[in-house]
Chain A
Amino acid sequence: MTPVPPSVAVRVTVFVTAVLAVSGCELTEVSTARAEDVIVAESQVTVFLSADETSSAWVTASTLLHRTYGENVRAVGGSLVQVSGASGRTLRLVEAPLEHCLHQVDSLGGFPAEGSCYLASASGASFAPGEKLSLEINVPDGRVLTAVSRIPGTFSFRDLNQVGGRCRLEPNTNFRFRWTPAEDAWTYFAEANLGGLREALAGRDIDVPDSLYLVGLSLGREDTEIVFPRDFGLFNFLEEDFPRDLLFTLQDEGLPEGAGAVVSLAAADRNRTNWERGGNFNPSGEVRIPSVFGDGTGVFGTAVQRRISVTAGPGEEGELPLCGTAES
């Protein structure tokens, strides 16, 4: 009989102990819990400004009303949702199909999202950057939800050469976007929708999708710089099936020749910032800091947003202007 080496004995002991430890920590004590019926409002007013200051601005408002789990019907249809500005103008939101508020209603394991979507859009004259807004929601069962927010002030890109909201990057470079501080902005959300990557990176041994959506972030009113594409993507990184190798390539090498992106920058208010970043840890789920009060909870966020379209390509006469000096 071959003696068991001590290392094997140790491994077996550790394994058995680990199994016991893990099994003993299994989920226990399952019982029924009662949920409270709480209405949740996710409301946003965004003032869109053109990148080149020439086009007129416009305003969109959206509100998704839904309920906590446990109710047979989580939609909150027939509600009166309206946003009022300090100037006296009021925007009443109209109920619309849920798809207009949501991206991929049937995602996530097959159970559909439920709720009621309310939308409105108006010219830029409705609400202005810096204006204080009030939200009031009257639900058919008598519940009332209210909130207030101040739209961040306006801002402009700095050191950016562009025509009609478009400019060009030297291929395989990064570019540092700069802008002026927006009053009352707590966060700048930067989003980039990239296209043309598959052709631009053909022949590379990495998985490249048709398009790529990346998020970047600048925190605080004075944090008014972000490098594209190097500082984008950290918040997409943990998403399922995210092409991480592609992101590393973009961060290391910059935007490849032939690829392009629409970069949008939104100065967001206190309410949206608090809701997005959340509160403390709770094992049952995300904890959000609300800005909607009364007979429910939720967020009433406001933002001011500008967009710019960039393309990576060599400079030729008559082509788009170079956005600026590439980031070293």
Chain B
Amino acid sequence: MHTIEEARSGIILPVAELLRVPRPGGFHFVWQSARAFLYRTVGEQRGSRGRLRGRSLYLAPVLLAVGVLTIVPPGAVAQDNSFRGRVWSDDGIPVEGAAVRLFPVSDTAQVNITGTDRLGFFTFPSIATGAYILSIARIGYVPYREQIRVPVGARTATEVTLLSQAVELEGFLVEAQRSRARARFEESAGMTVQELDRKALRAVPGLIEVDPIRAVEVLPGVTTVSDFSAAFNVRGGSADQNLILLDDVPVFSPFHLGGFFSVFNADMVERAELRSGGFPAEYGGRVSSVLVVESDAGDGKIGADAGVSLLASRLAVKGSLPGRVAEGLGLASARWRVSGRRSYVDVIADAVPYNLTDFQAVFEGWTRGGNRLKVSAYTGRDVVDFTDAEGGSIPLQFRWDWGNDAVGGSWTSPMTGGGALDLQASFSRFHSDFGFANFAETDFSTKIEQATFRADLERRPTPRVRWTSGLVANRLGYDNRFQVGGTVFGEGDGRGWETAAYTQLHWDASVRWLVEGGLRLDHWRPAAAGSQTTVSPRFAIKRFVRDRRSALRLAGGRYSQFVQSRRDEELPFGLDVWVLAGPRAPRLLSDQVQVGAESFFGAEEEWFASAEGYFRTFDGVIGENAVEEPGDPLDDLVAGTGQAYGVDLFLKRDLGTTTGWISASFLKTDRTFPDTRSGLDPVPLATYPPVFDRRFEVDLVVQRQMGWWGLDGGLRFNFGTGLPYTRPLGAFDFYRRRNGVLQREAEPAVVLGPRNGARYPSRHRLDISFRKPMEKKWGRLTPYASIINVYNKKNVLFYFFEYDRTPPVRTGVSMIPFLPTVGVEISFQ
């Protein structure tokens, strides 16, 4: 809390004093709040009230609307100075993710905290004049502490070099994550971000292995349809509306084993961030969420991480380029990490000829001037090969393989005064091929690929303003075939250019206000048909309260998507079949608005809570056309609309021996499509809840350092209300016409009730895990054990109704049962 004396440095004291007196009459209070804001804004400008007044008044109408919903607390003060800096390591590269604290010498409890960005920059845009202690900490470095003085009206800058430290302290991991969370809170007005760092990823009980995508399930706003699939839905969007990035390279369908778990090797992952709404203008391509998975190139020291689970073994090796080689490349530092993984189900059980293999690599190099070169690559394959099956064991000999390839490189160059220029090029593809050994003309294949070129420029003309703009060009192509014996059951291919330009302004309007506005132009030019342009405005406003420990925020915008998956999400397993906007599929547009509040609290700000409500519309979602005319290659899909609204609540504790979070999500979503299953002509419209319409869900995640045996424990409890399904009302003999007469089929046909008109029962599940890190001379050995579904709750995957039995029965097939797994992780240093 600031003092009255501090407040007197501005001209707002009368307003602040005024607001301390409760006043009857809402309108009068609101009006005074709005006036208070205007006065405060003027008061913050350094002695040039007349010149800056106009700018404040220009924004007044927008901010006035927000002021209606906010309360200006007493003691509001202006802070007039900025302090920024850059943190380097002793080997000359910028340090990302360092926790930077700044607190007055006279009051060490009043801590300002932020984190360094990927180029080592940090900024405190608004601090009061005075003497401060600057403290910087980062895992692997000796903590730094220095006293500085911030004079009146100054833009103070500093550069700090951290010394490497051999001993790594676990607590610094927490600090780094906390500093990033705090920095996001301070610097981002609208985007909803949840981060899972390496520690959190390992603490969430995993299904056989630590899985960065499965761990996302425990975050607010995230719904999964089945335990058997790692695909997820965010805030009423379908799974293909999630953009999944590995080091900024898009990865299509990043799943092994039909979606059972993700392709990402946890040993390579530094952290995963789910961005679930309020995206600024730099984001495009998907409308529901962005999942960022960042690789860890390591610290440059030679080392290896290995893991053995019931499914696969993996190995990751890290190191750095020899100094002479690095210098030859013009780099001050060059680190790398590579990993490989392979399953062994096919080795253990001959009857299951399935294997997965993946390789991942990341390279990060820094020049003396602080430029960064980063290259990432991934390749993975899943293969089910029954071509050598002995006759009679299976009716068909087939081979099915699918997988991803992705590679990308980026060059990041810091700008004078902060900001950076980013240049990026990447290529990503996903393919699946299925073929029968005895039918050479069989072709069940799907392929999607994307080449990306982008340039992003971030400038910081003043400490309070960050301006970002960029150009993006994506070359997309897909090719789907489904043909047997000369008969084409389905096919489609297409190419197109998606180009985009955006600009985004971020303005720390005052100590209380953060304003973001942006505009994005997306132009889609398919090779086959006409072009489409989407104008997508973005806005976000954040209002800080409680000395910037709490905030209210409002964000909205329009988002577009030009690639969608045809996968039937009503199936518990399946692969994506991608299709581009064009003659077959529409462009998907989504308008979104969200409003929320968030707050840090507790003596050390160890608690964080947020509440956010949202509303989204979807125009151009796709569904299968059940009555498509076989001769028409362009009517396979029908276009629909949808909407979603809900509230996400989140409470997190990230300090102490017991940490974790609880999230609660309320959701209601629906889709409206032509009801092609009705058989009616013309086709009527039908509105129904999609299969991921889980109305209420709670996730509790607890991590605890046990007092006994040095164990780290993890717990996850999930409760969710039932998902919708289509109930059959009856069944009847089904016949096919053969030689002019009817021949009864073995499987009956069903008469369906309203689409998704029934619901499964609520589900709940408790998972626990234990890890036992053991320090060795050569590194660390960590055996672990997980139990999925501790009390063996038989959550329903689906029902099937057998009306041909007397009496008829309804039978439920359950999801993952009580499932203990064990494994071991080994880290060589």
A and B are partners in one complex rather than unrelated chains: yes
Given A68-B732, A115-B733, A223-B487, verify A279-B817 contact (CB < 8 Å). Answer: no
Interface string of A273-292 (1 = CB under 8 A from B): 11010011111111111110
Tell me whether A58 is interfacial, beta carbon within 8 Å: no
Query: Would you call B809 and A103 a contact (CB within 8 A)?
Result: no
Of B263-271, B492-500, B744-752, the segment with at least 4 beta carbons within 8 Å of chain A is: B744-752
B800 touches A25 (CB 8 A): no
Contact A60/B809 with A10-B348, A274-B626, A283-B799 known, Cβ cut-off 8 Å: no
Q: Given that A24-B792, A286-B745 are known contacts, is A102 also in contact with B677, CB under 8 Å in the complex?
A: no
Query: What residues of chain B lie closer than 8 Å to A287, measured between beta carbons?
Result: 677, 749-750, 752
Q: Are A284 and B814 in contact (CB under 8 A)?
A: no
Q: Are the CB atoms of A68 and B818 closer together than 8 Å?
A: no
Shortest A46–chain B CB gap in Å is: 7
Would you give the shortest CB distance from B425 to chain A, in whole angstroms?
A: 40
Q: Say whether, besides A191-B738, A283-B800, A293 and B733 are in contact (CB < 8 Å).
A: no
- Asked whether, in the complex, the Cβ of B744 is within 8 Å of the Cβ of A104, the reply is yes
Q: How many residues of B contact A (CB 8 A)?
A: 83
B814 near A25 (CB under 8 angstroms)?
yes
List of A residues within 8 angstroms of B736 by Cβ? 276
Asked if B817 and A102 make an inter-chain contact with CB atoms under 8 angstroms apart, the answer reads no
- Once A103-B741, A219-B487, A274-B679 are accepted as A-B contacts, the answer to whether A35 and B733 lie under 8 Å apart by CB is no
Q: How far is the CA of A301 from the CA of B395 in the complex (A)?
A: 32
Does B415 sit within 8 A of A, measured CB to CB? no
Q: Does A230 contact B (CB under 8 A)?
A: yes
Q: How far is the CA of A102 from the CA of B741 in the complex (A)?
A: 6
Question: Hey, what's the 0/1 contact readout for A1-41 against B, CB within 8 Å counting as 1?
Answer: 00000000011011001001101111111111111111010
A37 to B808, CA, bound (A): 13
23 A-B residue pairs with Cβ-Cβ distance under 8 Å, sorted by A, are A11-B348, A17-B310, A24-B789, A25-B797, A28-B812, A32-B808, A33-B803, A38-B729, A42-B742, A66-B732, A68-B732, A69-B804, A103-B738, A103-B741, A191-B738, A219-B489, A220-B629, A220-B632, A234-B439, A248-B438, A280-B624, A282-B726, A290-B679
Known: A219-B487, A283-B798. A101 touches B629 (CB 8 A): no
Give complex CA distance A46, B741 in Å.
Answer: 12
Render B625-656 as a binary contact track against A, CB cut-off 8 A, 1 for contact. Answer: 01101111000000000000000000000000
Query: B23-46 vs A: 1/0 string, CB under 8 Å?
Result: 000000000000000000000000
> Cα distance A40–B748 when bound, in Å?
12
Asked if B485 is at the interface (CB within 8 A of a chain A CB), the reply is: yes
Residues of B within 8 A of A20 (CB): 817-820
Q: Which residues of the partner chain B approach A272 to less than 8 Å between Cβ atoms?
A: 737
Chain B residues within an 8 Å CB radius of A108: 744, 746
Q: Which residues of B line the A interface, CB within 8 A?
A: 310, 345, 348-349, 395-396, 438-439, 484-489, 568, 570-571, 624, 626-627, 629-632, 676-680, 726, 728-752, 789, 792, 794, 796-804, 807-822
Instruction: Report the Cα distance A282→B730, complex, angstroms.
Output: 12
Interface residues on A, range: 35 or more
A24-B816, A102-B743, A103-B743 given; A281·B570 CB < 8 A: yes
Residues on A close to B: CB < 8 A?
10-11, 13-14, 17, 20-21, 23-38, 40, 42, 44, 46, 60, 64, 66-70, 100-104, 107-108, 111, 113-115, 186-187, 191, 193, 213, 215-223, 225-227, 230-234, 237-238, 244, 248, 270, 272-274, 276, 279-291, 293, 297, 301
Question: What's the least CB distance linking B292 to chain A, in Å?
Answer: 32
Measured between beta carbons, the chain B residues less than 8 angstroms from A113 are: 733, 744
Which 6 A-B pairs give the minimum distances between C-beta atoms?
A24-B817, A220-B631, A68-B730, A219-B630, A29-B812, A220-B630
B807 near A284 (CB under 8 angstroms)? no
Residues of B within 8 A of A186 (CB): 629-631
Asked if B486 contacts A231 (CB within 8 A), the reply is yes
A324 to B24, CA, bound (A): 98
- Determine the chain B residues whose CB is within 8 A of the CB of A114 once the complex forms: 733
Hey, which chain B residues are within 8 Å of A301, CB to CB? 737
- Check A270 against B751 for contact (C-beta < 8 Å): no
Can you name 19 extra interface pairs (CB under 8 A) apart from A24-B817, A186-B630?
A: A14-B310, A20-B820, A24-B792, A25-B816, A27-B813, A33-B810, A35-B731, A35-B803, A38-B732, A69-B731, A102-B744, A103-B743, A216-B487, A220-B629, A234-B484, A280-B624, A282-B728, A289-B626, A293-B679
Question: What is the CA–CA distance of A10 and B631 in the complex, to the nearest angstrom?
Answer: 53
Docked-complex contact A274 and B813, CB < 8 angstroms: no
How many A-B residue pairs have C-beta atoms within 8 angstroms? Tell me: 243
Q: Is the CB of B729 within 8 A of A36?
A: yes
Task: Using known A-B contacts A231-B486, A234-B485, determine if residue A286 contacts B735 with beta carbons closer than 8 Å.
Answer: no
Q: Is the CB of B747 within 8 A of A286?
A: yes
Other-chain residue from B395, B396, B744, B819 in contact with A107 (beta carbon distance below 8 A): B744
Task: Give chain A nearest CB distance to B379 CB in angstroms.
Answer: 26
CA distance A33 to B819 in the complex (A): 31
A281: nearest residue on chain B (CB-CB)? Answer: B571
With A273-B630, A283-B798, A297-B751 known as contacts, the answer to whether A17 contacts B810 (CB < 8 A) is: no
Contact residues in A for B798 (Cβ distance below 8 Å): 283
**In the complex, A115→B744 CA distance in Å?**
12
Interface centre among A35, A107, A215 (most CB of B within 10 A): A35
Q: Contacting A37 at CB < 8 Å: which of B626, B632, B730, B742? A: B730
Shortest CB-to-CB span from A156 to chain B, Å, is 19
Say whether B751 contacts A36, CB under 8 Å. yes
Chain A residue at minimal CB-CB distance from B737: A44
In the complex, residue of chain A having the shortest beta-carbon distance to the beta carbon of B347: A7
- Which one of B348, B797, B801 contacts A33 once the chains associate, using CB atoms below 8 Å? B801
* B570–A284 touching, CB < 8 Å: no
Chain A contacts for B679, CB-based, 8 A: 274, 289-291, 293
Select from chain A the residue with minimum beta-carbon distance to B797: A25
CA gap between A287 and B752 in the complex, in Å: 8
A226 is contacted by which of B486, B801, B819 (Cβ under 8 Å)? B486
| Min CB–CB distance B762 → chain A (angstroms) | 13
Report how far A64 CA is from B631 CA in the complex, Å: 29
**Would you call A286 and B750 a contact (CB within 8 A)?**
yes
